Chain A
Amino acid sequence: DGGITQSPKYLFRKEGQNVTLSCEQNLNHDAMYWYRQDPGQGLRLIYYSQIVNDFQKGDIAEGYSVSREKKESFPLTVTSAQKNPTAFYLCASTPQGTHTEAFFGQGTRLTVV
């Protein structure tokens, strides 16, 4: 079945460490996105990519980095520069064009210990 797979589901990080969240899709979608969700709040866009080897900053890109070397993969690195990384991270993808819905992974819950 086609879909988006995020891993791991739960991740614990010590302060000062970088961690990478995985996002893989087999939907053949061109665009991929990373969102951050804090308890009781909506979604905030971190980074998005519309095509391989290209990506743009979203609203809260500071302290995060991404790469898009393959169409199906869009990993997110949470760096030590991100001061408050504990959150729920959601990856999504869409085909190009208007009127398209976003498909989401199951999310990764990151906790700084």
Chain B
Amino acid sequence: GNSVTQMEGPVTLSEEAFLTINCTYTATGYPSLFWYVQYPGEGLQLLLKATKADDKGSNKGFEATYRKETTSFHLEKGSVQVSDSAVYFCALSDNTGGFKTIFGAGTRLFVKA
């Protein structure tokens, strides 16, 4: 079945460092891909998305490119801030079996001042 695999955390960076969180997926068909962010004690909120191959999603300085050839959707940010500390989830929209969203396990990011 469809699945999402993302790098294990936690990831600890200093402020202004470059961030990469790897995400790969397995899917039949042509899923949409998403990154969600969860701040402590809250629900998830959409960070960015891409709906077809070679699309780049971007928001708040974060970006990710839908790479069908490598089945990847890696999250990047050029200069992280303390306020970016959160858990990041990669996900795909599974259009088989009822439009369920499949989530990766999440990667916790700590940014130090």
Q: Does B100 belong to the interface (CB within 8 Å)?
A: yes
Chain A: interface residue total (CB-CB under 8 A): 28
Where chain B touches its partner, the secondary structure class is: strand
Q: Which of A41, A98, A100 contacts B106 (CB 8 A)?
A: A41
Q: Which of A50, A100, A104 contacts B98 (CB 8 A)?
A: A50
The minimal Cβ–Cβ distance linking A107 to chain B, given in whole angstroms, is: 5
Chain A residues with Cβ below 8 Å from B44 are: 43, 90, 92, 102, 104
Known pairs A50-B98, A56-B98, A104-B43; A43 contacts B49 (CB<8 A): no
A-B CB proximity, top 4 nearest: A104-B43, A42-B105, A98-B95, A99-B32
Known pairs A90-B44, A100-B99, A102-B44; A42 contacts B106 (CB<8 A): yes
Chain B residues with Cβ below 8 Å from A43 are: 44, 89, 103, 106
